[in-house]
Chains A and B, each alone.
Chain A
Amino acid sequence: MLQTLLRHRLLWPSITLLLLLAVNAAFNPGFWQLQWRDGHLYGSVIDILNRAAPLALVAMGMTLVIATRGIDISVGAVVAIAAAVAALMIGGELVVKDGVQTHVSRFPMGLAIAAALAVAAFCGLWNGLLVARVGMQPIIATLILMVAGRGIAQLLTGGQIITVYYAPFFYLGNGFLLGLPFAVFIAAAVWLVLHLLMTRTALGLFIQAIGINPAAARLAGLQERLITVCVYVFCGLAAGVAGLVISSNVKSADGNNAGMLMELDAILAVTLGGTALTGGRFSLAGSVLGALIIQTLTSTIYSIGVPPEINMVVKAAVVFVVMLLQSAEFRAALRGWVVRSGNQRS
């Protein structure tokens, strides 16, 4: 029983998260306090959940891409593009209707959201085709969209921050359902669907097979290219949903800065969750935990009064430690050192 628990892949991410939460609670006595106000739950933990939701969404898409031995560094740009499309199509003009001033959407909100997601999925399709059809290295294929996509987002927004005034749109990032932030439900729903797809169908197995050995997977009769394209499309789609949640949360779309460096956070979340960057085995739940760890880390840094600028140094240190622990060579070297120092003592 204990053996299986110790071997469980989510053990280390869970311990990290719990430690961070404990540090938070130690520095901030009110950390665990939840308040019930106006039918909603309020508190630091709820705040972390709400803010981690977009990152968790992107990290889940990234997990599948990394599992196929790929990488998608264009997610930040896709976030910005999706946010810009939605904000432009919704807008929110001030109209006097029946003597009451209301903001109306330029297009129906459903259409705007569908369009933003379609554009995001198209971005993913583009990446997927470059990787699977043209055969480019994933980092370069997505680098192209990362560079050009940021430009496209700036082009759409005219380099400005587009403010959205249409209230129903704010529900995505600020609304509450059953007392919890709605964004948490979006992330949870995506996780549930993916989890079922990966465990109840052979898709999860196929993705791992591609990551472990693409040539063998192809020879075994897998439609390797089709699956790879689909994985990139999903990654783009997930980034699009995250873009909608983020722009809804801040009630605007910023082509210059929305989703900036998000790709790095997403990769960090995936790594923290125990998915190896070399592809193959992956853990969606681990990536969600990774996203929670990153968000908790940010709030820890705020709560213990360290300047927030140190955040990047801490993140860098975490990446270094995690990737060293994942390296077989490092573990071998570490074992060597431990054995040697043990021999000297005895």
Chain B
Amino acid sequence: MKTARIDSRYVPLLGTIAVFLLTAGYGSFAYPSFFSAQVFLNLLIDNAFLCIVGVGMTFVILSGGIDLSVGSVIALTTMVSAALVEQQHWSAAQAIPLVLVLGAGFGALMGWLIQRFKLQPFIVTLAGMFLARGLCYLISIDSISITDSAYTSIAQARLPLWSDGASITVGALLALAVLAFGIWLAHATEFGRTVYAIGGSEASALLMGLPVARTTVLVYTFSGLCSALAGVVFTFYMLSGYGLHAVGLELDAIAAVVIGGTLLSGGVGYVFGTLFGVLILGIIQTLIAFDGSLSSWWTRIVIGALLLVFCLLQRAFESRR
């Protein structure tokens, strides 16, 4: 008789999904109002930008790199959008493509530096983080709120799902679209396979004749584009541009990717897992909000502890192979 065996590659991913389900189960058990469609949809709505950034970050980490600039690129995107729309009176249709191109260009530049001059991704994106935050302050030190009608109407748009009033925002839909695109890109294209190959071993990928240089630059370009898109979603979410938006988001994104089962050494992981990484981060925040007696800094401590557990599991998993 053939027993159902789970492919060992899926173990980390299944572990993540199990943690999410257990946390959700605990929440539903402990707080009667927790188990509702809207609470779960809010996880996606409130973390849409994190999900988008996480998809880009997954590719970077799969290729064996890291991108620390994502949070400040989000801030820069909100700032440029707000300045263009409010001060230069551009329309949303003009401003949004421009910031997307800016984000992708920023990522491409960092990717080129990393690839061409064999610099460490960590230090290049760290400098990029400084640069993008600094550019925010050059535009304005204060927060610029957005009153443009196109932005406010998109921000307030709600897509009703089924009958009990549950609804979803444009940002959450975009996040799901990016996620689907990311899954397709990672598992059904030449680019995706090259990313896995580079993460597995860059030297082998080069010897196999894969376009390592181009792919590395493209990975960072994609991450920059995702950050800019997340910045657009964040602009809808906050309806303002501010240099202090999304401080520390890069760490949340890395945490989401790691919790989602992607190995930090590169080459192993799933874009789909990142969704659950994001959802776990979101559900911890929701639980702490539901509890009411715990202060917001418990979120950071719990995320840190969770990160530790998953990293330890990764190590155990790696050494077993």
Contacts and interface: CB of A to CB of B under 8 A. Distances in A.
Interface of A: 71, 130, 134-137, 139-141, 143-152, 154-155, 158-159, 255, 264, 267, 271, 277-278, 307, 309-317, 319-320, 323-324, 327-330, 333
Given A130-B311, A307-B141, A333-B116, 16 more contacts: A136-B311, A139-B66, A140-B254, A140-B311, A147-B300, A148-B301, A158-B295, A255-B297, A264-B126, A277-B120, A309-B138, A312-B134, A316-B128, A319-B130, A320-B113, A324-B113
B300 A140 contact: no
B35 interface: no
Interface centre among A311, A312, A323 (most CB of B within 10 A): A312
Interface stretch (B200-208, B216-224, B302-310): B302-310
Contacts of B305: 148
B185 interface: no
25 contacts: A135-B315, A139-B122, A141-B311, A143-B251, A147-B251, A148-B305, A151-B301, A154-B300, A264-B129, A267-B123, A267-B126, A307-B137, A309-B137, A310-B138, A313-B130, A313-B131, A313-B135, A316-B131, A319-B123, A319-B127, A323-B119, A323-B127, A324-B113, A330-B117, A333-B116
A135 B317 CA distance: 13
What are the 9 closest A-B residue pairs judged by CB atoms, nearest first?
A148-B304, A151-B300, A312-B134, A309-B137, A313-B134, A316-B131, A154-B297, A316-B130, A151-B301
Interface of B: 66, 113, 116-120, 122-124, 126-131, 133-135, 137-138, 141, 243, 251, 254-255, 258, 264-265, 295-301, 303-305, 307-308, 311-312, 315, 319
Contact of A323 (B66, B123, B254, B304): B123
Contacts of A144: 304, 307-308, 311
Contacts of A151: 297-301, 304
User: Does more than half of chain B's interface fall in helix, strand or loop, or is it mixed?
Assistant: helix
A159 B304 contact: no
A316 B127 contact: yes
A146 to B, nearest CB: 7
Contacts of A333: 116-117
Contacts of B315: 134-136
A155 B297 contact: yes
B227 to A, nearest CB: 16
Given A145-B304, A151-B304, A264 B117 contact: no
A74 to B, nearest CB: 10
Contact of B117 (A141, A255, A329): A329
Given A149-B304, A267-B123, A320-B127, A134 B117 contact: no
B251 A329 contact: no
A317 B134 CA distance: 10
Contact of A311 (B117, B128, B134, B296): B134
A155 B311 CA distance: 24
Contacts, number: 127
Nearest to A260: B247
B124 to A, nearest CB: 7
A239 to B, nearest CB: 17
Given A309-B137, A313-B131, A316-B127, A134 B312 contact: yes
A107 B254 CA distance: 40
Contacts of A140: 254, 258, 264, 307, 311
A324 B117 contact: yes
A148 B138 contact: no
Given A143-B254, A159-B295, A277 B130 contact: no
A313 B127 CA distance: 9
A217 to B, nearest CB: 21
Contacts of B311: 130, 134, 136, 140-141, 144
A278 B124 CA distance: 13
Contacts of A319: 123, 126-127, 130
A154 B137 CA distance: 26
Residue among A144, A145, A333 with max Cβ neighbours from chain B (10 Å): A144
A149 B248 CA distance: 13
B72 to A, nearest CB: 9
Contacts of A278: 120
Nearest to B130: A316
Nearest to B128: A316
Contacts of B265: 137
A147 B302 CA distance: 9
A137 B312 CA distance: 11
